[in-house]
Amino acid sequence: MDRFELIRRLQAIVGQAYVLYRPDDLTVYEQDALMVARHTPDLVVLPEGTAQVSDVVKVARQARLPITARGAGTGLSGGAIPEAGGVVVALTRMTRLLELDVASRIALVEPGMVNADLTAMLAPHGLFYAPDPGSQVASTIGGNVANNSGGPHCLAYGVTGNNVLGLEVVLADGTVTWMGGRAHDAPGYDLTGVMVGSEGTFGIVTTVAVRLMPRREAVRTLLAVYETVDAACEATSAVIAAGMVPEAMEILDGIVMRAVNKTLHVGFPEDAEAALLIEVEGLAESVPVLIERVEAICRAHGARRIQTAATAEERLNLWKGRKHAYGAMGRVGRRTMMLDVCAPRSRLAEVMRKVLEAGQRWNIGVANFFHAGDGNMHPTPFFDFDDTSPEYARVIGLTEDIMRACIEAGGTITGEHGIGLEKREYLGWMFNERDIAAMKTVKQVFDPDGVLNPDKVFPTGRPVHGDPRAKAAAAAGQA
């Protein structure tokens, strides 16, 4: 099939306006929030509805082109970058709430629905969708499912996988199928569980059945201010060790708080090196008791000051500040690279020390803001040179040291952002060959010809396209 024929056939499915082929229209789809890699797709298609997705997949298959699903492109591991070229299927036009069953607390949504829009639609019914990634104002439910995204409140409510009951999926050959369903316990294999977190490599999600939560009666939020990140980590471990599970426990360091303060007036302290943001929800009678206990533990671990949000507005403000943390890094360095690693909660402080030491060793600033409650850390190196500069090798060295520190402590190299392009060459650090072979077998079952989001997740032995190390080496060679 030549390019013209392909475009014509795709246009027949989705309409002329939604097959993109001009250089400018394609260029903008070569990137996502992973700033250091890019690749231009051959075509971008924006289907509306499951039937169109299925037809698009069939046509792309006939044309023997790779297919990469894309949501809002807020992914931080390059999952939506079409490294192998081919067709990008952007689900952003599929934004409908298909069904809302308030009594059973279930909703059926299309994959392009923006996470925060869903929660806004549910508010009048006293319900909400729990997973709340920092990108929730923009990221899509489909992208959340593909990356099994988490968020601050996942400490209590679980990550995306815990809140998805079933999925409608278009498979690699265009077949449409349902996995799981509306029931909380579907019989048979838990294929939903397999699909969640598969990063667009097993199929394209076209409908998501989500579990909804009722709003709690009462909520209290506090910000405990510390002199060091270390102390804030110790306090986190202590709260968990005391057998308490607040709804959220987030640490922000001084660099981040001062950066956020530049855009927003959220009342973060200017002069402290760390703060622990904690939220407790529950019944009106129990919340004050809980928050008092949390406060006592925070103080016992050296909190210099504790601010509590007195009004709903103050509370939202604190959260807004937290959710602006990554974005605010743009004010700290010209380039940033947010990592996503996990440490066991009991060894948080120890790993954090190693992270900061590594930063000093490589002479690169590292900011920290993360989901402390579940040990999911986001050390974020910031620097002023380009990813093409020879200096970039230091950033790679630093990130590898940080990953090593996590693995040594019994943690992992990715918490919630996925493997995508960014981490694929490191998969072997976590798993042995047999483990990886077993995973590849599953991939084979879903996608025997390897057309769905190829070259993601598994090591390829090649540097990431436009990989900074390759570029840095080339630059060094020239110099």
Partner 1 sequence: MTPSPAVETPRVEGPRVEASRAAAAPRARPMPFIPEVETCIHCGLCLNQCPTYRVTHLEAESPRGRIYLVKAASQGELDVTASVAGHLYLCLMCRACETACPSGVQYGRIAEAAREVLGPPGPPLQRWMVRTTLRHLMPSPRRLRLAAGLIRLAQRSGLVALARRVFPGRLRDRLAMMPEVSPRFYAPEAEVLPAIGARRTRVAFLSGCAMSLFFTDINEATVRVLRRNGCEVAIPRGQICCGALNVHNGEADSARAMARRNIDAFPDDVDAVVVNAAGCGAAMKEYGHLLKDDPAYRERAGRFAAKVRDAGEFLAGLGLRTAPQPVSLTVTYQDPCHLAHGQRVRAEPRALLAAIGVRLVEMAGSDRCCGSAGIYNVLQPEMSETLLREKMDAICATGAGTVVAPNPGCMMQLRYGAQRFGIPVRVMHLMDLLDQAGA
- Residues engaged in binding partner 1 (CB under 8 A): 2-4, 7-8, 11, 16-17, 19-25, 27-29, 31-35, 46, 72-74, 90, 92-93, 95, 112, 114, 116-117, 135, 137-139, 260, 262-263, 323-331, 334, 336
Residue 144 site contact among partner 1, ligand FAD, ligand SF4, none (CB < 5 to 8 Å, cut-off depends on kind)? ligand FAD
Residues 417-456 that bind ligand FAD (CB under 6 A): 417, 420, 453
* CB closer to ligand FAD, 74 vs 317: 74
In eight-state DSSP terms, residue 412 is B
Listed in sequence order, the DSSP H helices in 100-253 are 115-122, 141-147, 154-157, 191-195, 229-241
Residues 298-327 that bind ligand SF4 (CB under 6 A): 327
Stretch that binds ligand FAD, among 197-205, 243-251, 386-394, 443-451 (CB under 6 A): 197-205
Helix, strand, coil percent values for the chain (each to nearest 5): 40, 20, 40
Residue 147 site contact among ligand FAD, partner 1, ligand SF4, none (CB < 5 to 8 Å, cut-off depends on kind)? ligand FAD
* CB closer to partner 1, 291 vs 328: 328
Residue 221 site contact among ligand SF4, partner 1, ligand FAD, none (CB < 5 to 8 Å, cut-off depends on kind)? none
* CB closer to partner 1, 202 vs 392: 392
* CB closer to partner 1, 7 vs 154: 7
CA angle centred on 31, ends 401 and 28, rounded to 5°: 165
Which one-letter amino acid corresponds to residue 145? V
Q: 235 and 298 in contact (C-beta within 8 Å)?
A: yes
First to last CA, the chain: 45
Residue 204 site contact among ligand SF4, ligand FAD, partner 1, none (CB < 5 to 8 Å, cut-off depends on kind)? ligand FAD
Binding pattern for the stretch 339-378 against ligand FAD, x by CB under 6 A and - elsewhere: ----------------------------------------
Instruction: Say which residues have a Cβ less than 8 Å from residue 28's Cβ, sequence separation at least 6.
Output: none
Q: How far apart are CA 418 and CA 429, in angstroms?
A: 15
| 72 forms part of the interface with ligand FAD (CB under 6 A) | yes
* CB closer to ligand FAD, 295 vs 374: 374
Residue 224 parent element (H or E): strand 218-226
Parallel, antiparallel, or unpaired for β 87-90 and 43-45?
A: parallel
Residue 373's SS3 state is helix
In angstroms, what is the minimal distance from the CB of 380 to partner 1? Answer: 11
With 0-12 / 13-18 / 19 or more C-beta atoms within 10 angstroms meaning exposed / middle / buried, residue 216 is: middle
Phi, psi (rounded to 5 degrees) for 133: -55, 155
55, two tokens? 């037809």
Neighbours of 414 (CB within 10 A): 22
Binding pattern for the stretch 80-119 against ligand FAD, x by CB under 6 A and - elsewhere: x----------x-------------------x--------
* CB closer to partner 1, 48 vs 230: 48
Q: Which of 330, 410, 428, 448 binds ligand SF4 (CB under 6 A)?
A: 330
* CB closer to partner 1, 118 vs 291: 118
331, two tokens? 């004010």
Q: How far apart are CA 460 and CA 271, in angstroms?
A: 46
* CB closer to ligand FAD, 420 vs 468: 420
Residue 478 site contact among ligand SF4, ligand FAD, partner 1, none (CB < 5 to 8 Å, cut-off depends on kind)? none
Q: 338 and 326 in contact (C-beta within 8 Å)?
A: yes
Neighbours of 479 (CB within 10 A): 6
355, two tokens? 């992270």
DSSP codes, 2-26: -HHHHHHHHHHHH-GGGEE-SHHHH
Residue 7 site contact among partner 1, ligand FAD, ligand SF4, none (CB < 5 to 8 Å, cut-off depends on kind)? partner 1
* CB closer to ligand SF4, 252 vs 329: 329
Neighbours of 450 (CB within 10 A): 16
Q: How many residues make contact with ligand SF4 (CB under 6 A)?
A: 2
204, two tokens? 């394209």
| 204 forms part of the interface with ligand FAD (CB under 6 A) | yes
Q: How far apart are CA 379 and CA 391, in angstroms?
A: 19
* CB closer to partner 1, 264 vs 306: 264
* CB closer to ligand SF4, 31 vs 308: 31
Residues of this chain that bind ligand SF4 (CB under 6 A):
327, 330
Residues of this chain that bind ligand FAD (CB under 6 A):
32-33, 68-76, 79-80, 91, 111, 133-135, 139-140, 142-144, 146-147, 149-151, 199-200, 204-205, 326-327, 416-417, 420, 453
